């Protein structure tokens, strides 16, 4: 959603990093680029004007001029102001002290209210609540049937006493939605449900009939929360729609749907500031699990390409099995090999977290790898899983037994080429080698296949100084006389004797021949050489 805005802001801040001090001209140029980026993202003009004015005022103050790194301080200022226009603090549901908590959904037709009702119900059910869905949309064709299907997928009951419109394209209201909403709240109290979610009707545009019906339902059930569901892809028109619903229904919170779309995202940055109501939830996909609490600080970090590690950790905690994780950690710590069966289990756990692109996008600095993320094929995970599932249990435990015929059988069974099987086995062998190295306490291996000698992964160094390079072995001289002398010296060293002294010195002086001790036995015929 915020790809274009994130890229523009990241590029703007990159130009500031090379400057030790920021002049007023530098700040004005930066504010100009930020203004253009926000307008291109379809943010409402009043919001852009207030945002840039606040950023400029803070950037010209001592907060930035006195900072050790002015460029980083400017990023911090922009981050703080983004958090402010997104609502400031995280706002969660307020539950009633007595009786069921009543949550009413309102919004235009096509905004995703019915699907959101199922997502919210599933989220509440996983947190220990017992929600009940009420089908008060009696105008849209088959709206009651759709809510029943969504409720079944979420595993929650639905209250639908009236079938509603069964396919007729008409603007006439079928049945009494106000009475259905009132009876649904009474049924929830009788069946001991602690949360009631009322799905109301929408229109293709704002009209008096829509507002009056929503206002009548609110007056009848007195909801604890009125959530305005808005399509995040409609651009600046979101501001006018939100203001009309605020005047007609007076909602307490905003839910952004279709936040995974490719629109520019101006609605998300405009609604909270214009209406003064917080953004509470975000719908990020078609699955019922693609639903999350809206955190302004985390969303600002995503826009500025600083990642959202906290949300990634929370998703991992919900998806991963703690017992399975402990079992895997104990296995690795005991020195057992990481097998393809273990790899398959880890992949299945990761698939529960959702889209790989979405998870990778939560990591800091991934905006610089935007093209690689866009080209990432989600089906690659399914292909790898198919390859591993085509193996026998023995092959998963010991991939070394997979020969040529086995590879051909695995490739045929998984619908891939043999080269794909070979590549998977090669990559897994490298990962297995790395796991062994880490288990031994040696850290990341420096000689991993295809990675070369990485910096800092060479030989060991002595403390405080560099290890001396190995001495080269000296070769034999090409001079026959000198080579004979070197051989005699080497033989003498090997026998424990000292090498003979040179006959001359560097200055041309000749030394006297050494005299032998008197008790030394001289072989016959050698006396003349000793001067005897």
| Binding positions for GTP | 107-114, 199-203, 257-260
The two three-digit tokens of residue 69, written as one number? 């790194």
The two three-digit tokens of residue 357, written as one number? 């692109």
Secondary element (H or E) of residue 231: strand 225-231
The closest alpha carbon to 227, from 112, 144, 140, belongs to 112
Instruction: Say if CB 113 and CB 139 are below 8 A apart.
Output: no
Secondary element (H or E) of residue 103: strand 101-106
DSSP secondary structure of 147-178? HHHHHHHHT--EE-SS---SS---SS--S-HH
Strand, coil or helix: 392: coil
Backbone angles phi, psi at 251, to 5 degrees: -75, 160
Residue with token string 């600080």: 297
Long-range CB contact pairs, 354-362, < 8 A, 24+: 354/285, 354/287, 354/289, 354/290, 354/315, 355/285, 356/381, 358/260, 358/284, 359/312, 359/315, 361/302, 362/302, 362/307, 362/308, 362/309, 362/311, 362/312
Instruction: Say if CB 235 and CB 264 are below 8 A apart.
Output: yes
Q: Is the dihedral angle over the CA atoms 4, 275, 80, 312 positive or is it negative? A: negative
CA distance 152 to 36: 46
DSSP3 helix / strand / coil % (the chain, rounded to 5): 50, 10, 40
Residue with token string 């958090």: 83
Known binding-site residue numbers: 107-114, 199-203, 257-260
Strand, coil or helix: 104: strand
The two three-digit tokens of residue 502, written as one number? 């040179």
Secondary element (H or E) of residue 135: strand 131-135
**CA dist 234 to 3, 182, 238, Å?**
16, 32, 6
């Amino acid at each position: 959603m915020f790809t274009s805005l994130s890229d523009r802001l990241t590029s703007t801040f990159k130009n500031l990093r090379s400057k030790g001090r920021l002049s007023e001209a530098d700040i004005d140029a930066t504010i100009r680029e930020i203004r253009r980026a926000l307008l291109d993202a379809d943010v409402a003009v009043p919001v852009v004007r207030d945002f840039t004015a606040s950023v400029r005022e803070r950037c010209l103050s001592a907060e930035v001029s006195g900072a050790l790194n002015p460029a980083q301080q400017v990023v911090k200022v922009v981050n703080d102001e983004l958090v402010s226009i997104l609502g400031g603090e995280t706002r969660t549901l307020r539950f009633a002290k007595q009786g069921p908590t009543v949550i009413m959904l309102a919004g235009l037709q096509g905004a995703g209210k019915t699907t959101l009702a199922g997502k919210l119900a599933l989220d509440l059910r996983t947190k220990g609540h017992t929600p009940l869905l009420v089908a008060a949309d009696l105008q849209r064709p088959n709206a009651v049937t759709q809510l029943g299907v969504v409720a079944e997928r979420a595993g929650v009951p639905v209250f639908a006493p009236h079938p509603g419109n069964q396919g007729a394209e008409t603007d006439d209201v079928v049945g009494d939605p106000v009475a259905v909403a009132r009876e649904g709240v009474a049924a929830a109290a009788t069946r001991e449900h602690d949360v009631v979610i009322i799905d109301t009707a929408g229109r293709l545009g704002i009209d008096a009939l829509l507002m009056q019906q929503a206002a009548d339902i609110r007056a009848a059930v007195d909801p604890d929360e009125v959530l305005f569901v808005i399509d995040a892809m409609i651009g600046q028109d979101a501001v006018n729609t939100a203001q009309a619903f605020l005047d007609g229904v007076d909602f307490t919170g905003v839910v952004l749907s279709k936040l995974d779309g490719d629109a520019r995202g101006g609605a998300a940055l405009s609604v909270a500031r214009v209406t003064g109501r917080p953004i509470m939830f975000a719908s990020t996909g078609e699955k019922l699990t693609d639903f999350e609490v809206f955190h302004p600080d985390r969303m600002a970090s995503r826009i500025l390409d600083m990642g959202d590690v906290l949300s990634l950790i929370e998703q991992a905690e919900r998806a991963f099995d703690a017992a399975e994780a402990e079992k895997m950690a104990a296995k690795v710590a005991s020195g057992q090999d990481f097998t393809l069966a273990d790899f398959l289990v880890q992949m299945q756990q990761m698939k529960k977290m959702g889209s790989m692109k979405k998870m990778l996008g939560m990591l800091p600095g991934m905006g610089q790898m935007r093209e690689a993320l866009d080209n990432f094929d989600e089906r690659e995970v399914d292909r790898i899983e198919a390859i591993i599932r085509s193996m026998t249990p023995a092959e998963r435990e010991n991939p070394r037994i997979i020969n040529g015929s086995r590879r051909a059988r695995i490739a045929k069974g998984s619908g891939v080429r043999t080269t794909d099987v070979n590549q998977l086995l090669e990559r897994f062998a490298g990962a297995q080698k790395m796991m062994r190295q880490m288990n031994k306490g040696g850290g990341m291996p420096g000689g991993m296949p295809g990675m070369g000698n990485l910096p800092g992964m060479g030989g060991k160094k002595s403390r405080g100084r560099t290890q001396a390079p190995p001495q080269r072995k000296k070769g034999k001289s090409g001079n026959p006389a000198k080579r004979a002398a070197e051989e005699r010296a080497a033989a003498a060293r090997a026998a424990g004797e000292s090498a003979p002294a040179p006959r001359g010195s560097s200055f041309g002086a000749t030394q006297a021949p050494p005299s032998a001790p008197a008790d030394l036995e001289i072989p016959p015929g050698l006396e003349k050489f000793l001067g005897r």
